[in-house]
Amino acid sequence: MEAIADRIIPPDAETPGGKDAGCAVFVDRQLAGPYGQRDGHYNSPPFMNGTKQQGEQGEASPAQQYRKSLDALDRHCRSKFSGKAFAELVDSDKDSVLHGLESGDVSLDGADGKAFFKLALKNIQAGFFADPLYGGNRDLVAWKMIGFPGARYNYLDWIDRHNERFPLPPVGVTGRIDWTPKG
Amino acid sequence: MARKLPRKDVVIIGLGWTGSILANELTDEGLDVIAIERGPWRDAPTDFPPNYAQDELRYHIRHELFLRPEQNTFTFRNKMDQTALPIRKWGAFMPPNGVGGGGVHWNAETWRFLPSDFVLRTHLTERYGASFLPDDMTIQDWGVTYDDLEPHYDQFEYLCGTSGAAGNLRGAIQAGGNPFEGPRSRPYPNPPQKQGFGHTLWGKAAQELGYKPFPQPSGNMSQAYTNPLGLHLGPCTYCGFCEWFGCGNYSKASPQTTILPVLIRKSNFSARDNCEVMHINLDRSGKHATGVTFVDTSNVEWEQPADLVILAAFSVFNVQMLLNSNIGKPYDPVANSGVVGRNFTHQAMSSVDGFFDKDKFNFNPFIASGAIGMCIDEFNGDNFDHGPLGFVGGGYLGQVQTNGRPIQSAIVPPGTPKWGAQWKRAVADNYLSTLVGGSIHSSFYSYRDVYLDRDPTYKDRFGRPMMRMTIDFHDNELKAANYLTDKYAEIVHAMGAHQIHKKPRKGPYDITTYQTTHLNGGAVMGVDPKTSVVNRYLQSWDVPNVFVMGASAFPQNAGYNPTGTVCALAYWSADAIRNQYLKNPRPLVDA
């Protein structure tokens, strides 16, 4: 997952990539919690295939989809890239596999690769931008990158200040980075 | 066998906006009132404190405050010859749950419909001729007029402390307001909210193009306000966490901030939360309700006898309750007979994204409120000549961006890869200089083949048939979407955007993409029992001691957010109950 997250959101000089931002941790925690089990969704049969407009009708929960797809992805890579798992590939090969999943050109054995890619993309990017409380957006790196000040609740002094950059650093629900002592 | 509780004068099903309004009005009348609410109790200070309410993932992405589909959902299909499948997780709309209902997590846009909206079929027929309307369009007059509702719109706006600029004061057009609105008896209780950079710039561009922009009427407070019930609201702080979120700052009008603190202190009011009403009970004649039966969290069934039943659930659940209670004849689109489920509609939202030069524009999109923004009404309802255009209806256009919450609003220009280094760079470059999802809030008129009925296969957790939605856009709505989207894009172009992404609503209707939660109709009001479920006072034609609140009464949807009209209708109905019905309980209109 970390290897995928780091290609979806590659590190650059200013901002860490998906791995160091904690996106895989985010996904892992989400899958272990209510989201991964589809708590609260309507999960009763009969399950029938419908139109695109009718939305997802599958029986598998996100946790089950990930488990099957990650396993199938590594099997695919090992057969194509002389025994190497996805995480062991060079970046350009990783990208070509991911592009193949996205387009449907790479099909996985026993899993829907295209649906998995769509799900993983959504979850990794959500983890990057969610409150750091959930494990991603570590040290508020994503919010710093875009200029989102986070979980603030009072901009009364700023509503009239048009076209000016807001100067204060981002803050999460659990506080600001410099409020937590290092070490 | 249900256990029987002591009789009450009134039982109210659902404690959202309309349930709270009716409870307060009828307890003022001295009646003993009980409200039964399916979801949990919610209070502003304890449930939405400003130290953790600003959590996009929890409240928006994971739907913290909403009904769980496992509790009750609907099935959906586009066409009558398809098999409807269950909505397994919410998408196109988000049904509310719990005390306060949608009033907890709405954006608080507080509009009035146009006078012509209430006499739609008559008005359009007079102006364009009957043959101008598509054959299968089933729009109709409401049976109530703007003038009937004006005092009650006023009542709701003063309850809420709505912030806005009057456009028509007793017939005199006011500069800076909406010149197309019906005459209002007084100004808004509060001045308009302040506007951010993007909203202001859009308003300027609209004005330069010859339109008459005005601030969106907002239930977010522009200043401290004390409402007629003596409740205090505080100024909105533009935190950008409004829709999908509760406001712990007492800055957003909701049942929690404007009614409930008074209501719950009355000795003649009580409420049961986490209790779901199964059906309204009728006597042997089938024409008189005796109360309701509900189930508590331990699955114990209770009977609550009452003289008067107020059905005040979310629109689709009102329809479901009527069908489960055998009140009114179910609609049959093939025979074109019956009424319950007929004239179901939603909204036809379109939008435009505008991308601007980051070195010249910094919008700080996170500084916003739920109902902030500048709008124009030139393309709403019948404010423009539809003759050459070949469609009817329309909507307001507005730069009403409510937030900069990044999971949803960190978008990139069309043509950018969806991931990887280029995507990352584009997100960083565009976040502060992009206007996301400019709002084209278009109407959805009613059609013979858009309706609600009972699903033959899927059941809710109590074994009751789910509501089946059969819904698709018709050419009329799609033509309107294209026309309005082009008009909107011209304004964004005039603002100086270097890239514009037009997103007119396209068919088929899709259950997975969010539009609005404005599901309307199915238990519509009107003058004829053959084409309506309730009369002009929202009283059931079939069972006169049942009144049905909410947007289920709308015979078709207009180009506005519905809450102002939903609550004006609730006050109008409450007034009829207090001043006509209670003195002599009877059908208030002869069938």
Tens-digit pLDDT profile for residues A55-100: 999 999 999 999 999 999 999 999 999 999 999 999 999 999 999 9
Predicted-complex ipTM score: 0.97
Q: What is the pLDDT of residue A178?
A: 79
| C-alpha distances out from residue B534 to A86, B306, B546, B578, B581, Å | 63, 20, 9, 18, 15
B103 confidence band (pLDDT: 50, 70, 90): very high
Here the tokens at position A78 are 């090992």
Q: Minimal Cα–Cα distance from B420 to chain A, Å?
A: 5
Does A25 reside within a domain? yes
Q: Which positions 112-131 of A are in contact with B (Cβ < 8 Å)?
A: 121, 125-126, 129-131
Any chain B CB within 8 A of the CB of A162? yes
Range in A123-137, B38-52, B345-359 the model is least confident about: B38-52
Share of chain B above pLDDT 90, in %: 98
> What end-to-end distance do the CA atoms of chain B give, in Å?
36
| pLDDT digits 0-9 by tens, B537-555 | 999 999 999 999 999 999 9
- Nearest CB neighbour to A12, from listed B63, B68, B421: B421
Q: A33 to chain B: which residues are within 8 Å by CB?
A: none
Residue A16's domain spans which residues? 2-43+58-147
| pLDDT digits 0-9 by tens, B511-542 | 999 999 999 999 999 999 999 999 999 999 99
Compute the average pLDDT of residues B571-589.
Answer: 98
Domain B1-71+95-150+244-336+520-591 sits in CATH 3.50.50.60? yes
Q: What is the pLDDT of residue B53?
A: 87
Does A76 reside within a domain? yes
Q: What is the pLDDT of residue B284?
A: 97
Q: What is the pLDDT of residue B258?
A: 98
Contact A155 B510 (CB under 8 A): no
The answer to whether residue B344 scores a pLDDT higher than 70 is yes
Rounded distance, CA B503 to CA B349, Å? 9
User: Which residue in B has a C-alpha nearest to residue A34's C-alpha?
Assistant: B62
Here the tokens at position A86 are 């996805």
Contact A162 B77 (CB under 8 A): no
- Nearest CB neighbour to B69, from listed A34, A41, A163: A41
| pLDDT digits 0-9 by tens, B215-273 | 999 999 999 999 999 999 999 999 999 999 999 999 999 999 999 999 999 999 999 99
B191 confidence band (pLDDT: 50, 70, 90): very high
- Comparing C-alpha atoms, which of B375, B512, B560 is closest to residue B94? B512
Strand duo B232-233 + B225-226: pairing: antiparallel
Does A153 reside within a domain? no
State chain A's mean pLDDT as an integer. 96
Compute the average pLDDT of residues B450-479.
Answer: 97
Q: What is the pLDDT of residue B591?
A: 83
Any chain A CB within 8 A of the CB of B239? yes
Active-site residue list of B = 518
Q: What is the pLDDT of residue B11?
A: 99
| pLDDT digits 0-9 by tens, B390-410 | 999 999 999 999 999 999 999
Rounded distance, CA B428 to CA A146, Å? 5
**pTM of the full predicted structure?**
0.97
Any chain A CB within 8 A of the CB of B457? yes
Any chain B CB within 8 A of the CB of A48? yes
Compute the average pLDDT of residues B162-183.
Answer: 98
State chain B's mean pLDDT as an integer. 97
Rounded distance, CA B111 to CA B421, Å? 44
The answer to whether residue A182 scores a pLDDT higher than 90 is no
Q: What is the pLDDT of residue A170?
A: 96
A183 confidence band (pLDDT: 50, 70, 90): low
Q: What is the pLDDT of residue B52?
A: 87
Domain positions in chain B are 1-71+95-150+244-336+520-591
Our CA dihedral for A180, B45, B571, B550, rounded to 10 degrees, sits at: 50
Does A84 reside within a domain? yes
Contact A152 B77 (CB under 8 A): no
Contact A154 B237 (CB under 8 A): yes
Q: What is the pLDDT of residue B113?
A: 98
B45 confidence band (pLDDT: 50, 70, 90): confident
Compute the average pLDDT of residues A28-32.
Answer: 98
CB B285 within 8 A of CB B45: no
B49 confidence band (pLDDT: 50, 70, 90): confident
Does A163 reside within a domain? no
Rounded distance, CA B110 to CA B91, Å? 24
Hey, is B168 helix, strand or coil?
Answer: strand
Any chain A CB within 8 A of the CB of B361? yes
Q: What is the pLDDT of residue B27?
A: 98
Does A152 reside within a domain? no
Q: Which long-range contacts (CB under 8 A, 24 or more apart) does B200-206 make?
A: B200/A162, B200/B374, B201/B399, B201/B495, B202/B373, B202/B374, B202/B399, B202/B435, B202/B438, B202/B491, B202/B492, B202/B495, B203/B374, B203/B399, B204/B495, B205/B491, B205/B492, B205/B494, B205/B495, B206/B374, B206/B376, B206/B397, B206/B491, B206/B494
Contact A8 B420 (CB under 8 A): yes
∠ Cα B210 B211 B215 (to 5°) = 140
Hey, is B537 helix, strand or coil?
Answer: coil
Any chain A CB within 8 A of the CB of B407? yes
Domain count, chain A: 1
